[in-house]
Every structure is written in C-alpha cells, then in structure tokens.
Amino acid sequence: MKRIYVNEQWCLGCHLCEYECMYANSGLDEMFKLKGKAGKDILPRIYVEGGEKSPIHFAVNCRHCSGTACVNGCIAGALTKNDDGMVVIDKDKCVGCFTCVLLCPFGAIMPAADGKAAQKCMLCTDNIKGEPNCVKYCPNNAIVYEERE
C-alpha cells in the first residue's frame, strides 16, 4: 500500500504539515479559520520533531506498520488494520484508555483534543481531502506518499 515516508534532509521544520493536517481534519473551508483553534480544539496527527535550535527536523505520523502494536493492545477493539493495510480507528468505540499511546513505538497515536479518545493519521481517507494533505502541501518534498515494498 502507499504510505507516507520522510526525507529528513529536506525538512525545514516549518510545521506546515501540522497545519495542513489540522485543516484537513477540521472540516473548515479556509485554513486561516484555524486561528485560535489550532493546537487547542484540534490537534495535528503528524508531529514535526526538532525544536528551533535543532539542525534536524522530520515529520512523524502513523507508519501503518506491520507490528501494529496499537491494534494488538487496544482494549476496546477500536483499532483495526483494514484489508488495504491501513490502520484505522473507530472513535465511537474508543474509550480513551491510551494503551495505544503506550504501545506505538513511533509515538504516532495521540489523544484527540477533547482528551476522551485517541486520534491517528488515516491518510486523509476519513476527511474530504481523500489523500494526505500534509504531503500535498509540503513545499520541500520532505514527506512523500508512495508505494515502497
């Protein structure tokens, strides 16, 4: 399946992907409307590592990995790997125990803004964008969406 991969050497650490992620999942019609909401009412599912002083940056989101530690440990059966190989969360089943946060070796699943359920990247299949918005708007090709088996 197509997955998101990182080109660390090209990442500026601009955090644009985080905003594109929040925007894609916000349902808002204009990105600027995130103002005041970003990081508070809505949290990104992709996370850029490396602070201002760091020479290295890269963005991390769900690897849709084959170990699926999160799926294995989920106490509610809220996480599943679908037939395409994508790991999906059913937020109506999630009870917010955060066992998945404890298990994901990439730190790629996190509480949603309300703190009551987990959220994770589903490659924008769960919003109107249909394919990864973060990748689409990364100006540096620091994240790519491709098939690599």
Partner 1 sequence: MKYLLIGNSTAAIACIEAIRTLDKQGEITVLSKEEQFCYGRPTISYCLAGLTDREHMNYRPLDFYEKMGVSVHLGVSAESIDADKKQVKASDGKKYSYDKLLVSTGSRPFVPFAEGLDKVKNAFTFMSYDDMEALDKALSPEKEVVVIGAGLIGLKCVEGIFDRVKKVTVVDLATRVMPSVTEEESAAMIQSFLEKKGVEFVLGDCAASYTENSVTLKSGKTLSFDILVTAAGVRANTSLIADIGGKVNRGILVNTRQQTSIPDIYAAGDCTEGYDSSIGADRVLALMPNAYLQGKTAGLNMAGGDSEYKDAIPLNAVGFFGLHMLSAGVYEGEIIKVKDENKLKLLFVKDNVLKGFILINDFLRAGIYTSLVRGKTPLDGVDFDMLVEAPQLLAFPAEARAAKLSRRA
Q: Could you say which residues in the range 93-122 bind ligand SF4, by CB under 6 A?
A: 94-100, 104, 106, 108-109, 117-118, 120
- Considering only residues 78-137, where is the footprint of ligand FAD by CB under 6 A? 97, 99
Instruction: Find the binder of partner 1 among 33, 37, 67, 128 (CB under 8 A).
Output: 67
With CB under 5 to 8 Å by kind, the binding choice for 118 among ligand SF4, partner 1, ligand FAD, none is ligand SF4
Give the shortest CB-113-to-ligand SF4 separation in angstroms: 14
| E strands present in 16-149 | 47-49, 58-60, 79-81, 87-89, 109-111, 118-120, 143-147
CB burial of 16-35 (b: ≥16 within 10 Å; e: otherwise) equals: bbbbbbbbbbbeeeeeeebe
Site string for partner 1, 20-59 (x = CB under 8 A): ---------------------------x-xx---x-x-x-
**Phi-psi label, residue 63: left if phi above 0, alpha if psi -120 to 50, beta otherwise:** alpha
Distance CA 62, CA 64 (A): 5
Closer Cβ to ligand SF4, 117 or 142, answer by number: 117
